[in-house]
Amino acid sequence: MSIEYNLNNLKSKVSESVTIVAVSKTKANNLIMKAYETGHRVFGENKIQEMISKYESLPKDIKWHMIGHLQRNKVKYIAPFISLIHGVDSIKLLNEINKHAIKHNRVIECLIQVNISNEATKYGVSINEIDELYNHSLTLQNVLIKGFMAMASFTNDESKINIEFKSIKVQFDRYAKINSNFNVLSIGMSGDYKIALKNGSTMVRIGSKIFGERMI
């Protein structure tokens, strides 16, 4: 199936209120342009150097999302143009983002990454640590926390995935009630986005369902 077909098919199954982040990591520019030519503008990368290269060579109206783990010493490279950082998981990282946002006279939007699977190999704060990170963000002028990002366990057990997504939706609702800017719940990837949508996801990160399993 073509990228155009895959994107249109996906969008037919997803509410217009849900943002689809096309995960373009490792994908060549010509494949990204095929998605772009359908009208899609939101793309996600997890490697800084690859994102910078694509930013420099592709249309400037693309909204680039950093969906991978972000090291503090790499923030300066994406601060001028990044649209949304999904993986904020420490006060030190928040401070670094704020510092470089000030230099570029902009507010950088971010999501707090929450480890809902309790897997040691996954990044993110625990649910009990959310308050500290969120409250610190309120002291920073050039960072805006828009919501949460989380990844469910890599498993075929849909009931387990459902429980994990429900746990972050409860926290999301708690913050959304007190902050009108808190409106992004980034949960769901190609394998579990349908479960995520049932649990109130407002943003899904989709790679293989758009670009295919392998590079062409």
Q: Which pLDDT does position 215 carry in this prediction? A: 47
Determine the Cα–Cα distance for residues 107 and 80; give it in Å rounded to an integer.
Answer: 10
* CA proximity to 184, closest of 151, 152, 150, 210: 150
pLDDT at 48 over 90: yes
Residue 77 to residues 25, 68, 187, Cα–Cα distance (Å): 17, 15, 26
Task: Give domain limits for the chain.
Answer: 3-210
CATH class of the structural domain 3-210:
alpha beta
Confidence of residue 171 (pLDDT cuts 50, 70, 90): very high
Instruction: Summarize the confidence of residues 90-119 as an average pLDDT.
Output: 97
Average pLDDT over residues 169-173: 98
pLDDT at position 75: 98
Query: What pLDDT band is residue 78 in, cutting at 50, 70 and 90?
Result: very high
pTM for the model stands at 0.96
Tell me the average pLDDT of the chain: 96
What region does 111 belong to: left with phi over 0, alpha with psi -120 to 50, or beta? beta
Question: What are 111's strand-pairing partners?
Answer: 147
CA atoms of 202 and 147, how far apart (whole Å)? 10
pLDDT tops 60 at residue 112: yes
The answer on pLDDT for 206 being more than 60 is: yes
Distance between CA 202 and CA 199 in Å, rounded? 9
> Given CA atoms 141, 186, 197, 130 in this order, what sign does their dihedral have?
negative
Which band of pLDDT confidence, cut at 50, 70 and 90, is reported for residue 1? Answer: confident
What tokens does 148 get?
């949460």
**pLDDT of amino acid 214:** 55
Distance CA 193, CA 38 (A): 21
Enumerate residues 6+ apart whose C-beta is below 8 A from 212: 1, 3, 6
